[in-house]
């Protein structure tokens, strides 16, 4: 196992390197002049030249990347020009809020998706299967931002059961209960699509496993149906489901960008939207790189868990 984990860690290095190139190029090749966007009405030729010099934008693109990645490898992500503070400090401060939202959403979609998929497979063509399939397809087809606005209207505006935005109440609150109340709507919104994907793939994996010989043998031995399903079939199907959960972690992290905007959740997503509008290049690059690296690490954890369930993967 240690050798497999080391091998996977080594394989992550070129992936992160490629991500850094993509992140840098996407921001560098956006049309428009960054210095002019930052300065606004104060964009005189002298000020534009000064900003370009301070940000290193007067150098060749390759030189800009080498300077930036060299600083990143030393833990220096630069300084946000709009906020006048280190990029890494701002990103890490915001990343905690994003991690809470994404973590709860991933846990929620995983539990719901696995349970729905197993029930749908066990009750194939029954009313439960048809009902779950309907809600899964509806959830997958529904835009997350629209669902978020709908939930805000119903639960915050019309029924006044839950807060509409923010991470804590503006006046008072600040405890765990307050956090959980504010977390319900954005977490549910963010988890609906991922839960549908996991449920559909769990159903397919379970149906495939339930037709295999070892399941029939387990039943022939007189094992209870619950033990056959959860002790044998589900464990075998889980090997092919775990990578899907890893992929959905990326969807949850990426979806946090617009969900945080809808619910005014103070995370990296909301920060990136503001940074892009103000052309704060270093802040955008740092935020996207941290989120992308987190996605890669989540998939690494999923690979390790998959290899623990099926040792054949290590070879």
Which tens digits make up the pLDDT trace of 114-136? 999 999 999 888 999 999 999 99
Do 260 and 186 form a contact (C-beta atoms < 8 A)? yes
Instruction: Convert the pLDDT of each residue in 72-103 to its tens digit.
Output: 989 889 888 888 889 999 999 999 999 999 99
Cα separation of 227 and 218, whole Å?
9
The structural domains of the chain, with segments of one domain joined by +, span 2-76, 89-314
Average pLDDT, integer, range 199-215: 91
Residue whose pair of structure tokens reads 């509806």 in the numeric block? 138
Count of C-beta atoms within a 10 Å radius of residue 203: 24
pLDDT category at 313 given cuts 50, 70, 90 is low
Is the pLDDT at 202 greater than 90? The verdict is yes
Q: What's phi and psi for 163, nearest 5 deg?
A: -70, 150
Query: Distance (Å, rounded) from C-alpha 36 to C-alpha 51?
Result: 9
pTM of the predicted protein model: 0.87
Confidence of residue 11 (pLDDT cuts 50, 70, 90): confident
Residue entry with tokens 């990136």: 272
For residue 173, is pLDDT > 80?
A: no
Angstrom distance (rounded) from CA 254 to CA 291: 8
Q: Calculate the average pLDDT of the chain.
A: 87
Fold of 89-314: MetI-like fold (1.10.3720)
pLDDT at 9: 79
- The stretch 179-184 carries a mean pLDDT of 94
């Amino acid at each position: 196992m240690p050798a497999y984990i080391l091998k996977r860690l080594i394989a992550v290095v070129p992936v992160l390197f490629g991500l850094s190139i993509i992140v840098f190029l996407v921001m560098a090749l956006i049309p428009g002049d960054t210095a002019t966007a930052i300065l606004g009405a104060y964009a005189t030729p002298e000020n534009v030249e000064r900003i370009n010099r301070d940000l290193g934008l007067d150098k060749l693109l390759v030189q800009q990347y080498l300077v930036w990645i060299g600083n990143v490898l030393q833990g220096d992500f630069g300084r946000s020009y709009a906020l006048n503070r280190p990029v890494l400090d701002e990103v890490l401060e915001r990343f905690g809020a994003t991690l809470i939202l994404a973590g709860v959403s991933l846990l929620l979609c995983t539990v719901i998706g696995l349970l729905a998929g197993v029930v749908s497979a066990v009750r194939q063509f029954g009313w439960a299967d048809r009902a779950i399939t309907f809600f899964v397809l509806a959830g997958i087809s529904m835009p997350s931002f629209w669902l978020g606005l709908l939930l805000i209207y119903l639960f915050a505006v019309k029924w006044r059961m839950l807060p509409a935005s923010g991470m804590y109440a503006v006046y008072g609150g600040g405890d765990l209960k307050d956090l959980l109340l504010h977390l319900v709507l954005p977490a549910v919104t963010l988890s609906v699509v991922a839960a549908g994907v996991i449920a559909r793939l769990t159903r397919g994996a379970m149906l495939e496993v339930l037709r295999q010989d070892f399941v029939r043998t387990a039943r022939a031995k007189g094992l209870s149906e619950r033990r056959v399903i959860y002790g044998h079939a589900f464990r075998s199907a889980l090997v092919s489901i775990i990578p899907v959960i890893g992929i959905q972690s990326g969807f949850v992290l990426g979806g946090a960008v617009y969900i945080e905007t809808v619910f005014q959740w103070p995370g990296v997503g909301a920060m990136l939207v503001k940074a892009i509008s103000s052309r704060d290049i270093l802040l955008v690059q740092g935020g996207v790189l941290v989120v992308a690296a987190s996605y890669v690490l989540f998939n690494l954890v999923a690979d390790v868990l998959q290899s623990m369930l099926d040792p054949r993967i290590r070879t």
